[in-house]
Chains A and B, each alone.
Chain A
């Protein structure tokens, strides 16, 4: 233990990072306002008691309930004491009381958290238990009991309150130390010869900084509130003017002179709000570091400088007379705020005819799933279709009213997602999730929807439909969940199914079954399907046509047989090579020596 964490903390606090943080806080209006207010209050607390015109405790019979006047700017109270002087002197006592709470809380919570996090074992268990105990009772009840023991001492009571809130510091510090300790053995800093204490100090500081500032300002606010409540209840020290005792005095004379209540109320409310806003604005600023994606980009999307080459087409003459889906020159981009737009799909065109299975194949990150989501109109936040058109039975979907689009989904376009279990709502039974769209979209009654859902479950090959119908998602296997999701996709008899990697998350044996099921359902109903996958094995005997996608664009497209017989694009060839090598189709082909 050569360097104590405290000295590191001081050193870092003086550093550049803190200064820029202060700068950032001043830029946020609420943060700046609360900081200025708190600085003013602190100044009043320090120099005010020396400057006040009257002694805050001296009663004066002729000034009882004196109205505001040049002598008594805010008037005088029921004992003729000057309200302004009392308010100023009370500022010192109230802030000092809260400061004691913060110091005791930090003084108890931080060392205990450091030891518990570093040593673990019985000390950790015991102190965690005590922390839970301290937080379980309402503080005011404990303080009432404590007041019965220690008498009317402001400082002692605020100190005890500090102990009561110390678990907040304890919890943050001990979990931070634990996390750092767990990483310590792989930490390069250790190799570099830095001592444990120094590593822990630095790491903890970076983890703990934001919650500690938020907590400290929160405890200041609560300390002022608690101190005011105790004084208001008449449990404080009668020889000390505090905001709470002024409030109590104002409340007793509420009918006589309500303004006596006004000034301490304003002081307490503003100070509590300022501390809280100060804390939250610091936290917001610290959390925003490296996350500037909130703001909208100022510039509209512009097509990237390098345009994708036209795809290799195996059938230039192929034209659908009545396509179910026509996507042309589709581009999808994400608004990254200050850094502009990220284009994930660029110039994608594809046609899907009635009853056709069209496979969209490519490695992960090639934009297949983004294309699928944009057809459904369900791109994640920040993403949008920035160019091109999506026509469903000849009707443009891009820019369609959200309500109309919502009516198309489910009823006309079905969706089979990639990860079966995360795509079922864990809080509802399978039955509820299957019947809800039937009732909302198709307007079926409860009994009809239930019968239909059970039929669907049976159709997708679930052995005991009733049991699955009543189950929650966590009780069924991934393969079963995917069958349920397929049942959901075909429930409203759509004309088009978008299946996004429907077998990727499943075991190999289950994969084949699910593919068989998809093929059966597709041929039965003559429904068109967009099958997104990264696996050529999946598409080989399922798809009618294939589009190969790479870096957001389609590089080659054509009927399955032709594409397999004579792949033209290098990337398609490399995917075939990978398939023949029985290796997973990942990444573009690179020369062996480079790869090694």
Chain B
């Protein structure tokens, strides 16, 4: 059931959040551009090779625009960026937008898959822990802490070792596109998704548990039970629903964390996501490509935050839209 939120309020609210997002994007662009270009002095030499003459290095630098003032170059970059052009990779000459566009779906499918898996399991575990308490609660808590503490890529390595190399249940490396074979796609992303999810399950389950225990203390829980509703129905319908807001915020944060995690986990499974190319671009100092990845990530963050806010509004009929 969709709460009736006054439309004009909703629009103001969305606009305000968008404005905050744009301010964040601008700040990140300027900071990243300045820092990356200040550090790019050696890039021309790295690109033409250590044996190249000073003249060739200077020509390459001029070609990349490194001899022109920083402010001018930023203005150029941002005007192009606004039209959806993030420049060309210094290393390969490929359009940055194209390069990211072909790789982003892989990274996003891992992240979104992990969000779905971790949300489902975390809600189940958190609700179980809060509803039952006692030893169930203790076990869920300790497992959550341990699951959250071990780095995701390490879990990925263990999964590769056990399920791909020893048991051969899943392919160790490689990627199948979903349009080629859905089953093959699922098999290639299954282990990475599990590796990414484990940490998030822990922290989201802890949040679900905590806010459900808080919600259980509310008066309406007693009243609902006094109406003859069974305990489990009150817990899993009413209490869980009221605990959903904080859990959603945590899940939103975990989305960003898992996106970062995907960059590393991709390497373990040799998946053609943005991780591989980002690492390569980082090593040579390919400024336009690194800039592109930073900006695309920041845009993703803004979108996720906005989505979380909108979902909060939908979840909580009382949400103060200010």
Q: Which residues of A contact B (CB under 8 A)?
A: 30, 133, 136-142, 144-150, 221, 225, 228-229, 232-235, 247, 251, 254-255, 258, 261, 265, 268-269, 272-273, 275-277, 280, 373, 376, 378, 402-403, 406-411, 413-415, 417, 419, 422-429, 432-433, 436-437, 440-441, 472, 474, 485, 488, 491-492
Contacts and interface: CB of A to CB of B under 8 A. Distances in A.
Contacts of A268: 150-151, 154
A261 B261 CA distance: 20
Given A133-B24, A233-B264, A138 B318 contact: no
B224 interface: yes
Interface stretch (B117-125, B183-191, B281-289): B281-289
Contact of A145 (B161, B242, B259, B294): B294
Given A147-B282, A415-B223, A254 B165 contact: yes
Interface stretch (B11-19, B32-40, B57-65, B78-86): B32-40
Interface residues of B, number: 70
A346 B298 CA distance: 63
Contacts of B165: 254-255, 258
A265 B158 contact: yes
A229 B153 contact: yes
B167 interface: no
Nearest to A413: B226
B282 A138 contact: no
A233 B220 CA distance: 52
A137 B282 contact: no
A268 B157 CA distance: 12
Contact of A133 (B27, B224, B261, B293): B27
Contacts, number: 210
Contacts of A406: 225, 228-231
A225 B153 CA distance: 9
Given A137-B28, A141-B294, A268-B154, A410 B229 contact: yes
User: Which secondary structure characterizes the binding site on chain B?
Assistant: helix
B153 to A, nearest CB: 6
Contacts of B145: 273, 276-277, 280
Interface of B: 1, 3, 24, 27-28, 32, 35-36, 38-40, 142, 145-146, 148-151, 153-154, 157-158, 160-161, 165, 218-220, 222-231, 233, 238, 241-242, 256-257, 259-261, 263-264, 267-268, 278-279, 281-283, 285-287, 290, 293-294, 297-298, 301, 305, 315-318
B316 A229 contact: no
B303 to A, nearest CB: 12
A141 B260 contact: yes
User: Which secondary structure characterizes the binding site on chain A?
Assistant: helix
Contact of B261 (A140, A149, A428, A488): A140
B279 A440 contact: no
Nearest to B221: A425
Contacts of B3: 472
Contact of A425 (B28, B220, B231): B220
B161 A137 contact: no
Contacts of A145: 32, 35-36, 282, 290, 293-294
B281 A276 contact: no
A8 to B, nearest CB: 31
Given A141-B293, A235-B279, A251-B268, A429 B1 contact: yes
A251 B157 CA distance: 8
B5 to A, nearest CB: 11
A234 B279 CA distance: 8
Q: Which of B39, B142, B226, B242 has the most CB of A within 10 A?
A: B226
A433 B1 CA distance: 13
Contacts of A140: 260-261, 263-264
Nearest to B166: A258
Nearest to A224: B151
A340 to B, nearest CB: 22
B227 A144 contact: no
Given A141-B260, A229-B264, A428-B241, A235 B226 contact: no
A409 B227 contact: yes
B222 A440 contact: no
B160 A254 contact: yes
B241 to A, nearest CB: 5
A275 B148 CA distance: 12
The 4 residue pairs across chains A and B that have the minimum distance between CB atoms: A410-B228, A138-B260, A149-B39, A415-B226
Nearest to B202: A276
Nearest to B298: A137
A269 B198 CA distance: 14
A268 B223 CA distance: 49
Contacts of A225: 151, 154
Given A141-B263, A265-B154, A440 B24 contact: no
Nearest to A144: B282
A256 to B, nearest CB: 11
A266 to B, nearest CB: 10
14 contacts: A137-B301, A138-B257, A138-B297, A144-B290, A148-B36, A149-B38, A232-B267, A265-B157, A273-B146, A422-B219, A425-B220, A425-B238, A433-B224, A441-B228
Contacts of B39: 148-150
Contacts of B38: 149
Contacts of B148: 276
Given A133-B28, A138-B256, A427-B242, 14 more contacts: A136-B298, A137-B294, A139-B260, A141-B278, A144-B279, A150-B39, A228-B154, A233-B279, A254-B160, A376-B226, A409-B226, A427-B315, A433-B224, A436-B227
B150 A272 contact: yes
Contacts of B229: 406, 410, 436-437, 440-441
A477 to B, nearest CB: 15
Q: Which of A233, A415, A432 has the most CB of B within 10 A?
A: A233
B133 to A, nearest CB: 9
Nearest to A411: B228
A492 B228 CA distance: 9
Contacts of B150: 268-269, 272-273
Contacts of B298: 136-137
Nearest to B259: A138
Contacts of B1: 429, 432
A233 B226 contact: no
Given A140-B260, A225-B151, A229-B264, A378 B242 contact: no
Contact of A440 (B161, B218, B231, B233): B233
Contacts of A427: 238, 241-242, 315-317
